[in-house]
Structure formats: structure tokens, C-alpha cells
Amino acid sequence: MPQLPLSAYEPMIPQVADLLADDLSLQTFFNDLTPGYQREWARFIFGAKATATQQRHIAVMRTVFRAGYKSKRAYDSRPKD
């Protein structure tokens, strides 16, 4: 199944911010990202069909933000100890 274009996820950006409402620092971090990064996170979460997968992706997003990275790609490329 072909993936939707990144622009299709733009309307979901506020939903991603709402997912972080319980942690103001993470929500602020997300809100300060460029729209491109925000769309990538919306696709990462809402591009998954299964609820369990979406929940796992939300947890990954929180981990990436806590580590100070803007994208999962950058986080995955970080130097490993």
C-alpha cells in the first residue's frame, strides 16, 4: 500500500501536540519544531493503522524528544556508547 504524501498529515499536527499535553516541556519542544518535522511525527504516529503500534510510536517520540533530538532519524544515527 502506498504511503500518503507528507502534506496529508499536516491536519494531524494539533493531535500530536495534544498527545504531549501531559508534559509541557515535550509539548513545547514539539511546537517549536519546524512544520516539516511536525508533519514527519504526525506521519510516524498516524501512518500506523494498529492502535498498539501508534502507542509504541508515541512512546518512541517521547524518548527521542527527551534525548533532545528533533527526528527519529537523527536519534537513530546518534553515536552509541
Type and span of the H or E element at 37? helix 35-46
pTM > 0.75: yes or no: yes
Rg from Cα positions in the chain: 12
Which residue type sits at 41?
W
Q: Please give the average pLDDT of every successive group of 10 residues along the chain, which has 81 residues.
A: 85 98 98 97 96 98 98 94 70
Q: What's the pLDDT at 3?
A: 81
HSE-up of 4 (CA within 13 Å, CB side)? 15
Q: What's the pLDDT at 2?
A: 64
20 DSSP 8-state letter:
T
